[in-house]
Amino acid sequence: MPTTLDHALLRRWAEAAVAGLEARRAELDGINVFPVADADTGTNMLLTMQAALAAFDPAEPGPSLARGALRGARGNSGTLLSQVLRGIAEEAELGAGLRRALTHATAAVAEPRAGTILSVLEAAAEAGDDPRAVADAAHVAVGRTTGQLAELSRAGVVDAGGLGVAVVLDALVTASSGEAPVREPTRVVRPRAALTTARETGSAEYDHEVMYLLDRTSEEAVTRLRTVLAALGDSVVVVGDGTGTWNVHVHCSDVGAAIEAGVEAGRPHRITVLRFDSATARFRRPRAVLLVVSGPDVAGLVRAAGADVLEARTGHTVTGRQLLAAVEETGAAHVTVMTCDATLFGLAARVAAEARDAGREVVVVPTTSVSQGLAALAVHDLDRNAADDVVAMAEAAAGTRTGALVVAEAEALTWVGRCAPGEVLGMSEGEVVLIAPDLSVGALWLAHRMLTAGGELVTALLGADAPADLGERLEEDLRRTHPEVDVVVYRGGQVDFPLVVGVE
């Protein structure tokens, strides 16, 4: 079994880790007791790992994963997970990388405790270079955490962060061998509501969580910063990526003092301040969802679904200034952005970083079409934890396949043959998959083709020039041939495609 972590294995590992954390996110959230019972460990680790994967660069695979994780780290568990990736990035072999990760993670925590991620990392690092032996050792160590930490013993659960690390190490086994380890699910012995009460009603001692990135600093200044923050509050974690950038996390009541300590240590930026029992006071509302769409009909659909809209003018490119202004106009402390266009994702990520620098939390959910945006909106729930809601929307968007019809303007050679002017091309996920004589036939063929992979709901958006009966014919045919599928037809009003089809 390979132990040298080359770029191909690291990419497979990151993908498998995201999948593993997605599958067990609710389980990890449900047993989250230490250091604060806020039921978000699984969500934080998943979002951190997703940030690492999004930053992956084959030219520097390990460092890019570490940097992405550090910059996207959420909470204690996410910041410590970033140190696992940093350690791996700094060593060529697994065992050495885990030992380095343990050193970094231990140094990052103001008061290291047994029965936490640190205990699991220590056991994994001692297991050598074989991925399966390392993962097995991690799970054994997870089982011991209940008896090592009083908070876990009282709740009757294992450490959520430690289990998350074990899940990530299981992903390495999957990536290196092609076989996923079989593990028993963790038993949650206390209702989730009981575990979340402490955080949802505010900390008894400290009522704010402060996080920021720090650069233009030194090891000595960071050491002093840890001491200052430990005197101000608890849950202090200060971790670096090895290239001069640090992620700082603390629970405290004196927010100004925590930020001033960062100013004394270097240059703090991307400062996030969250109150445990309410949204930041300077915002009009706690959360919003913002979609970028084109056309008044689609904009109306999105607004009716409860989202804010940046309506792009047909034929014009959305600018960063426009998107940032739209984010600010929501008046929300936490904004989920969906561009409904793959070409705008990079722009949205840059705008999100700029908005976070100004103290607003912005998360970009990848979407390539309005269909995916509408699918995400369908599961949006303001009563849910913000991080949980983002994950649910991202999963709904990713689970929606998109197709469209376009009328050929000239003769051309496509993947499925030569088309003539006026013929209808059916496209799925950006590729031409069929050629039809007219829109009605093309709509039926495209929907049938997309449903071969399964589906429960078909959403059809009629373009500005599409005949009114196009949707009626499609709906009638699908109800006859696929009675198990729900069909919804809207007048989208888009000018680029006569018909857009989403299957979820």
Using the 3D structure, point to which of 233, 261, 277 is the last residue of a domain: 277
Whether residue 67 sits in one domain with residue 153? yes
196 lies in a domain? Answer: no
The pLDDT of residue 169 is 94
Whether residue 78 sits in one domain with residue 18? yes
198 lies in a domain? Answer: no
The pLDDT of residue 99 is 92
Whether residue 271 sits in one domain with residue 143? no
Whether residue 17 sits in one domain with residue 143? yes
**CATH assignment of the domain containing 241:** 3.30.70.1710
Whether residue 186 sits in one domain with residue 122? yes
200 lies in a domain? Answer: no
* Host H or E run for residue 237: strand 233-240
415 lies in a domain? Answer: yes
Q: What is the pairing mode between strands 267-275 and 285-294?
A: unpaired
ω into residue 112 within 30 of 0, thus cis? no
The pLDDT of residue 185 is 64
The domain containing residue 273 runs over which residues? 205-277
Using the 3D structure, point to which of 277, 307, 323 is the last residue of a domain: 277
Write the DSSP string, 439-458: HHHHHHHHHHHHHTT--SEE
**CATH assignment of the domain containing 159:** 1.25.40.340
Whether residue 388 sits in one domain with residue 318? yes
In the chain, the number of structural domains is 4
CB 89 within 8 A of CB 62: yes
The pLDDT of residue 458 is 86
Using the 3D structure, point to which of 190, 219, 243 is the last residue of a domain: 190
CB 139 within 8 A of CB 7: no
197 lies in a domain? Answer: no
10-residue stretch averages of pLDDT, the chain, 504 residues long: 69 91 82 65 86 87 88 84 89 87 84 85 90 92 83 77 92 89 62 32 62 88 91 85 84 86 88 60 76 85 85 79 88 89 86 78 87 88 82 87 87 86 85 87 86 84 83 84 84 81 84
Whether residue 151 sits in one domain with residue 56? yes
Whether residue 337 sits in one domain with residue 313? yes
